[in-house]
Chain A
Amino acid sequence: MHIPDSFIPISQGAVYWLIALVFIALSLRWIRNEMSEEKVPLVAVLAAGVFALQAFNIPVTMGTSGHLVGGALVAIVLGSPFAAVFVLSLVLIVQGVLFGDGGITTMGANIVNMGVIGGFVGYYAYHGLLSVTKNMFASAAGAAWLACIVPALAAALELWVAGTFPLEAGLAGMGLYHALIGVVEAGITAVVLGLIANTRPDILEHAEGVPA
Protein backbone atom coordinates (compact mmCIF):
# COMPACT_ATOMS: atom_id res chain seq x y z
CA MET A 1 0.00 0.00 0.00
CA HIS A 2 2.89 2.36 -0.72
CA ILE A 3 1.20 5.16 -2.67
CA PRO A 4 3.60 6.12 -5.49
CA ASP A 5 4.34 9.59 -6.85
CA SER A 6 1.85 11.23 -9.21
CA PHE A 7 -1.22 9.61 -7.64
CA ILE A 8 -1.76 12.41 -5.12
CA PRO A 9 -1.69 16.09 -6.21
CA ILE A 10 1.25 18.04 -4.87
CA SER A 11 -0.87 20.30 -2.61
CA GLN A 12 -2.52 17.35 -0.87
CA GLY A 13 0.85 15.60 -0.63
CA ALA A 14 2.19 18.66 1.20
CA VAL A 15 -0.66 18.48 3.73
CA TYR A 16 0.14 14.83 4.50
CA TRP A 17 3.83 15.71 4.75
CA LEU A 18 2.99 18.39 7.36
CA ILE A 19 0.95 15.92 9.42
CA ALA A 20 3.73 13.34 9.13
CA LEU A 21 6.40 15.86 10.21
CA VAL A 22 4.40 16.77 13.32
CA PHE A 23 4.22 13.11 14.30
CA ILE A 24 7.90 12.51 13.51
CA ALA A 25 8.82 15.44 15.78
CA LEU A 26 6.54 14.05 18.51
CA SER A 27 8.09 10.59 18.18
CA LEU A 28 11.60 12.08 18.40
CA ARG A 29 10.54 13.85 21.59
CA TRP A 30 9.05 10.59 22.90
CA ILE A 31 12.36 8.77 22.42
CA ARG A 32 14.28 11.51 24.21
CA ASN A 33 11.88 11.74 27.16
CA GLU A 34 10.18 8.41 27.64
CA MET A 35 12.66 5.75 26.70
CA SER A 36 15.17 5.14 29.45
CA GLU A 37 18.19 7.37 28.79
CA GLU A 38 19.11 8.11 25.20
CA LYS A 39 18.15 4.94 23.37
CA VAL A 40 17.98 6.54 19.95
CA PRO A 41 20.69 4.22 18.53
CA LEU A 42 18.76 1.16 19.66
CA VAL A 43 15.65 2.27 17.79
CA ALA A 44 17.70 3.19 14.71
CA VAL A 45 19.25 -0.29 14.57
CA LEU A 46 15.85 -1.86 15.20
CA ALA A 47 14.50 0.10 12.21
CA ALA A 48 17.11 -1.58 10.00
CA GLY A 49 15.99 -4.93 11.40
CA VAL A 50 12.34 -4.16 10.68
CA PHE A 51 13.32 -3.29 7.11
CA ALA A 52 14.94 -6.73 6.81
CA LEU A 53 12.03 -8.64 8.27
CA GLN A 54 9.66 -6.94 5.85
CA ALA A 55 11.56 -8.80 3.15
CA PHE A 56 10.32 -12.22 4.29
CA ASN A 57 7.47 -13.54 2.21
CA ILE A 58 4.57 -14.70 4.29
CA PRO A 59 2.13 -17.23 2.84
CA VAL A 60 -1.33 -15.90 2.03
CA THR A 61 -3.83 -18.37 0.63
CA MET A 62 -4.44 -18.80 -3.11
CA GLY A 63 -0.79 -18.59 -4.07
CA THR A 64 -0.31 -14.91 -3.26
CA SER A 65 2.26 -13.72 -0.79
CA GLY A 66 2.45 -10.65 1.37
CA HIS A 67 4.88 -9.25 3.87
CA LEU A 68 4.73 -8.00 7.41
CA VAL A 69 4.51 -4.23 7.95
CA GLY A 70 5.36 -4.55 11.61
CA GLY A 71 3.79 -1.29 12.88
CA ALA A 72 1.61 -3.06 15.42
CA LEU A 73 4.48 -5.33 16.48
CA VAL A 74 6.89 -2.46 17.16
CA ALA A 75 4.23 -0.42 18.99
CA ILE A 76 3.28 -3.39 21.20
CA VAL A 77 6.84 -4.48 22.03
CA LEU A 78 8.24 -1.00 22.70
CA GLY A 79 5.04 0.07 24.43
CA SER A 80 4.19 3.23 22.50
CA PRO A 81 2.56 4.13 19.19
CA PHE A 82 5.34 6.68 18.70
CA ALA A 83 7.87 3.86 18.42
CA ALA A 84 5.99 2.62 15.36
CA VAL A 85 5.82 6.14 13.90
CA PHE A 86 9.57 6.55 14.30
CA VAL A 87 10.65 3.14 13.04
CA LEU A 88 8.29 3.09 10.06
CA SER A 89 9.20 6.65 9.05
CA LEU A 90 12.84 5.59 8.83
CA VAL A 91 11.92 2.45 6.89
CA LEU A 92 9.69 4.40 4.48
CA ILE A 93 12.35 7.05 3.87
CA VAL A 94 14.87 4.37 2.90
CA GLN A 95 12.34 2.52 0.75
CA GLY A 96 11.27 5.73 -0.99
CA VAL A 97 14.69 7.24 -1.66
CA LEU A 98 16.72 4.10 -2.32
CA PHE A 99 14.26 1.77 -4.00
CA GLY A 100 11.59 4.13 -5.31
CA ASP A 101 8.93 2.10 -3.49
CA GLY A 102 6.46 4.75 -2.38
CA GLY A 103 7.00 8.26 -3.68
CA ILE A 104 8.75 11.41 -2.56
CA THR A 105 5.73 13.71 -2.72
CA THR A 106 3.50 10.96 -1.31
CA MET A 107 5.92 9.86 1.41
CA GLY A 108 4.05 11.99 3.95
CA ALA A 109 0.83 10.15 3.15
CA ASN A 110 2.58 6.79 3.45
CA ILE A 111 4.09 7.73 6.81
CA VAL A 112 0.66 8.88 8.01
CA ASN A 113 -0.98 5.62 6.86
CA MET A 114 1.49 2.97 7.91
CA GLY A 115 3.35 4.69 10.73
CA VAL A 116 0.82 6.96 12.42
CA ILE A 117 -2.48 5.20 11.70
CA GLY A 118 -0.95 1.71 11.81
CA GLY A 119 0.97 2.41 15.01
CA PHE A 120 -1.85 4.10 16.89
CA VAL A 121 -4.49 1.61 15.78
CA GLY A 122 -2.18 -1.31 16.62
CA TYR A 123 -1.22 0.00 20.03
CA TYR A 124 -4.64 1.06 21.27
CA ALA A 125 -6.42 -1.93 19.77
CA TYR A 126 -3.95 -4.19 21.55
CA HIS A 127 -4.57 -2.58 24.93
CA GLY A 128 -8.32 -2.39 24.42
CA LEU A 129 -8.51 -6.04 23.46
CA LEU A 130 -6.12 -7.02 26.25
CA SER A 131 -8.34 -5.49 28.91
CA VAL A 132 -11.30 -7.45 27.55
CA THR A 133 -9.78 -10.82 26.63
CA LYS A 134 -6.80 -10.91 29.04
CA ASN A 135 -5.03 -12.95 26.36
CA MET A 136 -1.89 -11.47 24.89
CA PHE A 137 -1.86 -13.54 21.70
CA ALA A 138 -5.50 -12.96 20.77
CA SER A 139 -5.14 -9.22 21.42
CA ALA A 140 -1.93 -8.99 19.40
CA ALA A 141 -3.55 -10.85 16.51
CA GLY A 142 -6.61 -8.60 16.59
CA ALA A 143 -4.46 -5.48 16.80
CA ALA A 144 -2.26 -6.60 13.90
CA TRP A 145 -5.32 -7.35 11.76
CA LEU A 146 -6.75 -3.88 12.43
CA ALA A 147 -3.34 -2.27 11.88
CA CYS A 148 -3.27 -3.90 8.45
CA ILE A 149 -6.77 -3.09 7.24
CA VAL A 150 -7.30 0.44 8.65
CA PRO A 151 -4.21 1.97 6.94
CA ALA A 152 -5.27 0.29 3.68
CA LEU A 153 -8.71 1.88 3.95
CA ALA A 154 -7.05 5.22 4.78
CA ALA A 155 -4.88 4.90 1.67
CA ALA A 156 -7.95 4.16 -0.46
CA LEU A 157 -9.69 7.21 1.03
CA GLU A 158 -6.69 9.46 0.35
CA LEU A 159 -6.52 8.25 -3.24
CA TRP A 160 -10.24 8.95 -3.60
CA VAL A 161 -9.79 12.49 -2.26
CA ALA A 162 -6.96 12.87 -4.77
CA GLY A 163 -9.36 11.83 -7.53
CA THR A 164 -7.36 8.85 -8.71
CA PHE A 165 -9.35 6.03 -7.13
CA PRO A 166 -13.04 5.11 -6.99
CA LEU A 167 -14.63 5.29 -3.51
CA GLU A 168 -16.88 2.23 -3.11
CA ALA A 169 -14.98 -0.14 -5.40
CA GLY A 170 -11.67 1.09 -4.01
CA LEU A 171 -12.64 0.65 -0.37
CA ALA A 172 -14.08 -2.78 -1.13
CA GLY A 173 -11.04 -3.90 -3.15
CA MET A 174 -8.36 -2.58 -0.80
CA GLY A 175 -10.37 -3.64 2.25
CA LEU A 176 -10.97 -7.23 1.11
CA TYR A 177 -7.40 -7.73 -0.07
CA HIS A 178 -5.88 -6.42 3.14
CA ALA A 179 -8.45 -8.19 5.32
CA LEU A 180 -7.08 -11.40 3.82
CA ILE A 181 -3.42 -10.40 4.25
CA GLY A 182 -4.28 -9.09 7.72
CA VAL A 183 -5.33 -12.56 8.90
CA VAL A 184 -1.87 -13.91 8.07
CA GLU A 185 -0.16 -10.83 9.48
CA ALA A 186 -2.20 -11.34 12.66
CA GLY A 187 -1.04 -14.95 12.96
CA ILE A 188 2.61 -14.06 12.38
CA THR A 189 2.48 -11.16 14.86
CA ALA A 190 1.04 -13.46 17.53
CA VAL A 191 3.79 -16.06 16.91
CA VAL A 192 6.51 -13.39 16.99
CA LEU A 193 5.16 -11.91 20.21
CA GLY A 194 5.00 -15.39 21.74
CA LEU A 195 8.63 -15.96 20.82
CA ILE A 196 9.67 -12.63 22.36
CA ALA A 197 7.63 -13.32 25.52
CA ASN A 198 9.40 -16.67 25.87
CA THR A 199 12.96 -15.60 25.16
CA ARG A 200 13.21 -11.94 26.15
CA PRO A 201 10.21 -11.12 28.37
CA ASP A 202 12.21 -8.21 29.80
CA ILE A 203 11.98 -6.15 26.61
CA LEU A 204 8.17 -6.26 26.51
CA GLU A 205 6.88 -2.99 27.94
CA HIS A 206 3.60 -4.46 29.16
CA ALA A 207 3.98 -8.11 29.99
CA GLU A 208 0.55 -8.56 31.57
CA GLY A 209 -1.46 -11.44 30.15
CA VAL A 210 1.64 -13.46 29.32
CA PRO A 211 1.01 -17.07 30.29
CA ALA A 212 3.53 -18.19 32.88
Chain B
Amino acid sequence: MIEDLFEIERLAYGDSPVHRLDARVKIVIAFGAIIALVAYPVHGSVYLFAGVMGALLVALLLASRVPLRTFLLRVGAILPFGLSILVFQVLFPPVAFASPTVLLALPLGVEITAEALAKAAMIGVRFVLCIGFIVLLSSTTRLQDLLTGARRLGFPSEFTLILGMMARYLFVFGQMFVRVMNALATRCFDPLDRSLPYGYRLRQTGYTIGTMFLRSYEQGERTYTAMLCRGYGRDAYLFVPKKPLSRGDWTVLAACMAVVCVGPVAVFLFSTLPG
Protein backbone atom coordinates (compact mmCIF):
# COMPACT_ATOMS: atom_id res chain seq x y z
CA MET B 1 0.00 0.00 0.00
CA ILE B 2 2.78 2.39 0.96
CA GLU B 3 4.30 2.32 -2.53
CA ASP B 4 1.14 4.04 -3.88
CA LEU B 5 1.89 7.01 -1.66
CA PHE B 6 4.18 8.62 -4.23
CA GLU B 7 1.58 8.37 -6.98
CA ILE B 8 -1.08 9.89 -4.70
CA GLU B 9 1.19 12.78 -3.75
CA ARG B 10 2.17 13.34 -7.40
CA LEU B 11 -1.52 13.64 -8.29
CA ALA B 12 -2.07 16.01 -5.38
CA TYR B 13 0.62 18.29 -6.77
CA GLY B 14 -1.45 18.82 -9.91
CA ASP B 15 -3.22 22.05 -10.73
CA SER B 16 -6.96 22.52 -11.19
CA PRO B 17 -9.75 24.54 -9.61
CA VAL B 18 -10.25 21.72 -7.08
CA HIS B 19 -6.53 21.50 -6.27
CA ARG B 20 -6.45 25.25 -5.65
CA LEU B 21 -9.31 25.16 -3.15
CA ASP B 22 -8.31 25.63 0.48
CA ALA B 23 -7.70 22.29 2.22
CA ARG B 24 -10.30 23.19 4.88
CA VAL B 25 -13.01 23.45 2.24
CA LYS B 26 -12.15 20.05 0.77
CA ILE B 27 -11.94 18.36 4.17
CA VAL B 28 -15.33 19.73 5.25
CA ILE B 29 -16.99 18.75 1.95
CA ALA B 30 -15.54 15.22 1.89
CA PHE B 31 -16.28 14.45 5.54
CA GLY B 32 -19.70 16.09 5.31
CA ALA B 33 -20.59 14.03 2.24
CA ILE B 34 -19.47 10.79 3.93
CA ILE B 35 -21.43 11.54 7.10
CA ALA B 36 -24.53 12.41 5.04
CA LEU B 37 -24.19 9.16 3.06
CA VAL B 38 -23.74 6.99 6.14
CA ALA B 39 -26.53 8.76 8.01
CA TYR B 40 -29.02 8.26 5.19
CA PRO B 41 -31.34 5.37 6.12
CA VAL B 42 -31.22 2.07 4.21
CA HIS B 43 -34.43 2.79 2.37
CA GLY B 44 -35.54 2.55 -1.25
CA SER B 45 -34.88 6.25 -1.83
CA VAL B 46 -31.17 5.78 -1.12
CA TYR B 47 -30.57 5.41 -4.87
CA LEU B 48 -32.02 8.83 -5.59
CA PHE B 49 -29.84 10.35 -2.87
CA ALA B 50 -26.83 8.39 -4.14
CA GLY B 51 -27.54 9.89 -7.56
CA VAL B 52 -27.42 13.40 -6.08
CA MET B 53 -24.15 12.70 -4.23
CA GLY B 54 -22.75 10.86 -7.23
CA ALA B 55 -23.45 13.92 -9.40
CA LEU B 56 -21.58 16.10 -6.88
CA LEU B 57 -18.66 13.64 -6.88
CA VAL B 58 -18.53 13.48 -10.69
CA ALA B 59 -18.70 17.28 -10.96
CA LEU B 60 -15.79 17.69 -8.53
CA LEU B 61 -13.88 14.86 -10.23
CA LEU B 62 -14.24 16.46 -13.66
CA ALA B 63 -13.19 19.85 -12.29
CA SER B 64 -10.16 18.27 -10.62
CA ARG B 65 -8.88 16.68 -13.87
CA VAL B 66 -7.74 13.61 -11.94
CA PRO B 67 -7.36 10.84 -14.58
CA LEU B 68 -10.47 8.69 -14.43
CA ARG B 69 -8.52 5.44 -14.77
CA THR B 70 -6.27 6.23 -11.79
CA PHE B 71 -9.28 7.26 -9.75
CA LEU B 72 -11.19 4.06 -10.52
CA LEU B 73 -8.13 1.89 -9.86
CA ARG B 74 -7.66 3.50 -6.46
CA VAL B 75 -11.32 3.04 -5.55
CA GLY B 76 -11.25 -0.53 -6.83
CA ALA B 77 -8.22 -1.40 -4.70
CA ILE B 78 -10.20 -0.69 -1.53
CA LEU B 79 -13.39 -2.56 -2.45
CA PRO B 80 -12.61 -6.27 -1.74
CA PHE B 81 -13.10 -6.32 2.04
CA GLY B 82 -16.37 -4.39 1.92
CA LEU B 83 -17.61 -6.57 -0.94
CA SER B 84 -16.80 -9.73 1.02
CA ILE B 85 -18.92 -8.44 3.92
CA LEU B 86 -21.75 -7.77 1.44
CA VAL B 87 -21.50 -11.27 -0.06
CA PHE B 88 -21.59 -12.76 3.43
CA GLN B 89 -24.65 -10.68 4.19
CA VAL B 90 -26.48 -11.93 1.13
CA LEU B 91 -25.66 -15.58 1.87
CA PHE B 92 -26.46 -15.40 5.60
CA PRO B 93 -28.90 -12.51 6.19
CA PRO B 94 -28.45 -11.14 9.73
CA VAL B 95 -32.13 -10.21 9.98
CA ALA B 96 -34.85 -12.59 8.82
CA PHE B 97 -37.13 -11.03 6.21
CA ALA B 98 -40.90 -11.38 6.65
CA SER B 99 -41.69 -13.08 3.33
CA PRO B 100 -38.46 -13.61 1.41
CA THR B 101 -38.52 -14.13 -2.34
CA VAL B 102 -36.02 -16.90 -2.97
CA LEU B 103 -34.10 -16.33 -6.18
CA LEU B 104 -31.62 -19.15 -5.88
CA ALA B 105 -31.44 -22.07 -3.44
CA LEU B 106 -27.91 -23.31 -2.77
CA PRO B 107 -26.96 -26.52 -0.97
CA LEU B 108 -26.88 -26.64 2.86
CA GLY B 109 -30.04 -24.53 3.13
CA VAL B 110 -28.36 -21.32 1.96
CA GLU B 111 -30.77 -19.16 -0.01
CA ILE B 112 -30.24 -15.98 -1.94
CA THR B 113 -33.26 -13.75 -1.53
CA ALA B 114 -34.22 -10.64 -3.45
CA GLU B 115 -34.58 -8.71 -0.18
CA ALA B 116 -31.05 -9.51 0.98
CA LEU B 117 -29.66 -8.56 -2.43
CA ALA B 118 -31.54 -5.26 -2.37
CA LYS B 119 -30.24 -4.40 1.11
CA ALA B 120 -26.67 -5.29 0.16
CA ALA B 121 -26.94 -3.14 -2.97
CA MET B 122 -28.17 -0.16 -0.94
CA ILE B 123 -25.27 -0.47 1.53
CA GLY B 124 -22.87 -1.06 -1.35
CA VAL B 125 -23.87 2.14 -3.16
CA ARG B 126 -23.21 4.25 -0.07
CA PHE B 127 -19.92 2.40 0.54
CA VAL B 128 -18.54 2.99 -2.96
CA LEU B 129 -19.48 6.70 -2.90
CA CYS B 130 -17.80 7.17 0.51
CA ILE B 131 -14.56 5.75 -0.87
CA GLY B 132 -14.91 7.96 -3.94
CA PHE B 133 -15.02 11.11 -1.79
CA ILE B 134 -11.98 10.06 0.28
CA VAL B 135 -9.95 9.15 -2.81
CA LEU B 136 -10.85 12.48 -4.42
CA LEU B 137 -9.80 14.33 -1.25
CA SER B 138 -6.37 12.68 -1.05
CA SER B 139 -5.81 12.90 -4.83
CA THR B 140 -6.31 16.67 -4.86
CA THR B 141 -4.84 17.76 -1.52
CA ARG B 142 -1.16 17.51 -0.54
CA LEU B 143 -0.42 15.73 2.69
CA GLN B 144 1.09 18.85 4.23
CA ASP B 145 -1.96 20.93 3.24
CA LEU B 146 -4.26 18.33 4.78
CA LEU B 147 -2.38 18.69 8.07
CA THR B 148 -2.36 22.49 7.96
CA GLY B 149 -6.05 22.42 7.08
CA ALA B 150 -6.83 20.07 9.95
CA ARG B 151 -4.91 22.35 12.32
CA ARG B 152 -6.80 25.42 11.07
CA LEU B 153 -10.07 23.55 11.59
CA GLY B 154 -9.19 23.21 15.25
CA PHE B 155 -7.52 19.79 15.38
CA PRO B 156 -5.30 19.79 18.53
CA SER B 157 -1.69 20.86 18.05
CA GLU B 158 -0.28 17.76 19.82
CA PHE B 159 -1.89 15.54 17.28
CA THR B 160 -1.10 17.47 14.10
CA LEU B 161 2.52 17.77 15.24
CA ILE B 162 2.80 13.98 15.64
CA LEU B 163 0.90 13.23 12.43
CA GLY B 164 3.15 15.67 10.60
CA MET B 165 6.26 13.90 11.80
CA MET B 166 4.80 10.57 10.87
CA ALA B 167 3.78 11.82 7.43
CA ARG B 168 7.29 13.04 6.70
CA TYR B 169 8.78 9.63 7.46
CA LEU B 170 6.09 7.76 5.55
CA PHE B 171 7.89 8.80 2.37
CA VAL B 172 11.29 7.77 3.77
CA PHE B 173 10.00 4.33 4.66
CA GLY B 174 8.02 4.10 1.46
CA GLN B 175 11.26 4.39 -0.49
CA MET B 176 12.95 2.00 1.90
CA PHE B 177 10.15 -0.50 1.27
CA VAL B 178 10.60 -0.22 -2.51
CA ARG B 179 14.38 -0.71 -2.16
CA VAL B 180 13.92 -3.74 0.10
CA MET B 181 11.44 -5.28 -2.34
CA ASN B 182 13.89 -4.69 -5.23
CA ALA B 183 16.71 -6.27 -3.23
CA LEU B 184 14.55 -9.31 -2.50
CA ALA B 185 13.56 -9.55 -6.16
CA THR B 186 17.15 -9.46 -7.39
CA ARG B 187 17.83 -12.46 -5.17
CA CYS B 188 14.76 -14.17 -6.66
CA PHE B 189 13.08 -14.32 -3.27
CA ASP B 190 9.32 -14.15 -3.25
CA PRO B 191 7.58 -14.83 0.09
CA LEU B 192 4.68 -16.38 -1.85
CA ASP B 193 6.89 -18.71 -3.93
CA ARG B 194 5.69 -22.22 -3.11
CA SER B 195 8.80 -23.98 -4.38
CA LEU B 196 10.72 -22.71 -1.35
CA PRO B 197 10.36 -24.41 2.05
CA TYR B 198 7.66 -22.72 4.12
CA GLY B 199 9.78 -22.29 7.25
CA TYR B 200 12.53 -20.61 5.24
CA ARG B 201 10.10 -18.14 3.65
CA LEU B 202 8.57 -17.34 7.03
CA ARG B 203 11.97 -16.77 8.64
CA GLN B 204 13.28 -14.57 5.83
CA THR B 205 10.09 -12.49 5.78
CA GLY B 206 10.32 -12.17 9.55
CA TYR B 207 13.91 -10.93 9.33
CA THR B 208 12.95 -8.42 6.62
CA ILE B 209 10.08 -7.08 8.70
CA GLY B 210 12.21 -7.07 11.84
CA THR B 211 14.96 -5.11 10.09
CA MET B 212 12.35 -2.60 8.94
CA PHE B 213 11.11 -2.28 12.52
CA LEU B 214 14.63 -1.74 13.87
CA ARG B 215 15.52 0.75 11.15
CA SER B 216 12.41 2.81 11.87
CA TYR B 217 13.07 2.62 15.62
CA GLU B 218 16.65 3.80 15.14
CA GLN B 219 15.50 6.53 12.74
CA GLY B 220 13.14 7.58 15.53
CA GLU B 221 16.00 7.73 18.01
CA ARG B 222 18.07 9.87 15.65
CA THR B 223 15.15 12.16 14.87
CA TYR B 224 14.39 12.58 18.55
CA THR B 225 18.00 13.48 19.38
CA ALA B 226 18.20 15.88 16.46
CA MET B 227 14.97 17.56 17.53
CA LEU B 228 16.26 17.92 21.10
CA CYS B 229 19.32 19.73 19.70
CA ARG B 230 17.01 22.14 17.92
CA GLY B 231 15.07 23.01 21.03
CA TYR B 232 12.23 20.48 20.94
CA GLY B 233 10.60 20.01 24.31
CA ARG B 234 7.41 19.43 26.20
CA ASP B 235 5.91 22.69 25.02
CA ALA B 236 6.62 22.28 21.32
CA TYR B 237 3.75 23.70 19.34
CA LEU B 238 2.81 23.56 15.69
CA PHE B 239 2.26 27.17 14.68
CA VAL B 240 0.03 27.69 11.67
CA PRO B 241 -0.63 31.29 10.61
CA LYS B 242 -4.28 32.25 10.19
CA LYS B 243 -5.51 32.43 6.64
CA PRO B 244 -8.98 33.65 5.75
CA LEU B 245 -10.91 31.74 3.10
CA SER B 246 -11.16 33.53 -0.23
CA ARG B 247 -14.51 34.42 -1.76
CA GLY B 248 -14.20 31.56 -4.25
CA ASP B 249 -13.56 29.10 -1.41
CA TRP B 250 -16.67 30.32 0.41
CA THR B 251 -18.79 30.00 -2.74
CA VAL B 252 -17.72 26.41 -3.44
CA LEU B 253 -18.10 25.50 0.24
CA ALA B 254 -21.59 26.99 0.43
CA ALA B 255 -22.72 25.34 -2.82
CA CYS B 256 -21.42 21.88 -1.93
CA MET B 257 -22.58 21.99 1.68
CA ALA B 258 -26.03 23.04 0.46
CA VAL B 259 -26.16 19.79 -1.55
CA VAL B 260 -24.78 17.77 1.37
CA CYS B 261 -27.13 19.24 3.99
CA VAL B 262 -30.32 19.95 2.06
CA GLY B 263 -29.97 16.97 -0.31
CA PRO B 264 -30.70 14.12 2.11
CA VAL B 265 -33.64 15.91 3.77
CA ALA B 266 -35.19 16.91 0.46
CA VAL B 267 -34.76 13.46 -1.12
CA PHE B 268 -36.14 11.70 1.93
CA LEU B 269 -39.18 13.97 2.20
CA PHE B 270 -39.78 13.81 -1.56
CA SER B 271 -39.77 10.01 -1.61
CA THR B 272 -41.73 9.34 1.60
CA LEU B 273 -44.46 11.97 1.44
CA PRO B 274 -47.61 10.55 -0.11
CA GLY B 275 -48.69 12.10 -3.36
Residues of A whose CB lies within 8 Å of any CB of B are 1-2, 4-7, 9-10, 13, 28, 32, 38-59, 61, 63, 65, 68, 73, 77, 90, 93-101, 103-105, 159-160, 163-167, 169-170, 173, 184, 187-188, 190-196, 199-200, 203
In contact, A51 and B173 (Cβ under 8 angstroms): yes
| Residue among A1, A50, A98, A193 facing the most chain B CB atoms (10 A cut-off) | A98
- Partner of A55 from B31, B134, B143, B177 at Cβ < 8 Å: B177
- Across-interface contacts of A57 in B (CB, < 8 A): 191-192
In contact, A99 and B92 (Cβ under 8 angstroms): no
- Across-interface contacts of A100 in B (CB, < 8 A): 74-75, 78, 130-131, 134-135, 138
Min CB distance A51 to B, Å, is 6
We find that the number of chain B residues with CB closer than 8 angstroms to chain A is 80
Chain A residue with minimal CB distance to B158? Answer: A28
- Partner of A184 from B137, B202, B217, B224 at Cβ < 8 Å: B202
CA distance A114 to B207 in the complex (A): 23
CA distance A172 to B212 in the complex (A): 34
In contact, B81 and A46 (Cβ under 8 angstroms): no
B3 within 8 A of A: yes
- Across-interface contacts of A50 in B (CB, < 8 A): 213, 216
In contact, B37 and A5 (Cβ under 8 angstroms): yes
**With A1-B81, A51-B170, A56-B209 given, can you name 5 additional A-B contacts, CB distance below 8 Å?**
A38-B232, A45-B166, A45-B216, A166-B94, A188-B206
In contact, A56 and B191 (Cβ under 8 angstroms): yes
- Across-interface contacts of B206 in A (CB, < 8 A): 187-188, 190-192, 194-195
Chain A residue with minimal CB distance to B215? Answer: A49
CA distance A195 to B219 in the complex (A): 17
- Across-interface contacts of B234 in A (CB, < 8 A): 32, 38
- Across-interface contacts of B172 in A (CB, < 8 A): 48
B274 within 8 A of A: no
In contact, B1 and A54 (Cβ under 8 angstroms): yes
CA distance A97 to B167 in the complex (A): 12
- Across-interface contacts of B168 in A (CB, < 8 A): 48
B14 within 8 A of A: no
- Partner of B8 from A7, A98, A191 at Cβ < 8 Å: A98
In contact, B203 and A191 (Cβ under 8 angstroms): yes
In contact, B1 and A196 (Cβ under 8 angstroms): no
In contact, B210 and A192 (Cβ under 8 angstroms): yes
CA distance A208 to B89 in the complex (A): 46
- What's the dominant secondary structure at chain A's contact region? helix
Chain B residue with minimal CB distance to A91? Answer: B166
- Across-interface contacts of B5 in A (CB, < 8 A): 98
In contact, B191 and A59 (Cβ under 8 angstroms): yes
Chain B residue with minimal CB distance to A54? Answer: B1
In contact, B209 and A68 (Cβ under 8 angstroms): yes
CA distance A105 to B33 in the complex (A): 11
In contact, A65 and B192 (Cβ under 8 angstroms): yes
- Partner of B220 from A5, A43, A170, A192 at Cβ < 8 Å: A43
CA distance A96 to B194 in the complex (A): 33
CA distance A44 to B191 in the complex (A): 28
Given A57-B191, A100-B78, A165-B85, A6 contacting B38 (CB threshold 8 A): yes
- Across-interface contacts of B191 in A (CB, < 8 A): 56-59, 65
CA distance A55 to B6 in the complex (A): 14
B185 within 8 A of A: no
| Residue among A4, A38, A164, A187 facing the most chain B CB atoms (10 A cut-off) | A4
Min CB distance A200 to B, Å, is 6
Q: Quick one: CB contact mask for B162-184 with A, threshold 8 Å, 1 for yes?
A: 11011111101110110000000
- Partner of B166 from A48, A105, A188 at Cβ < 8 Å: A48
In contact, A164 and B94 (Cβ under 8 angstroms): yes
Given A45-B223, A49-B216, A65-B192, A192 contacting B209 (CB threshold 8 A): yes
In contact, A195 and B137 (Cβ under 8 angstroms): no
B63 within 8 A of A: no
Chain A residue with minimal CB distance to B110? Answer: A169
- Scan residues 214-235 of chain B and give those whose CB is less than 8 A from a CB of chain A: 214-217, 219-221, 223-224, 227, 232-234
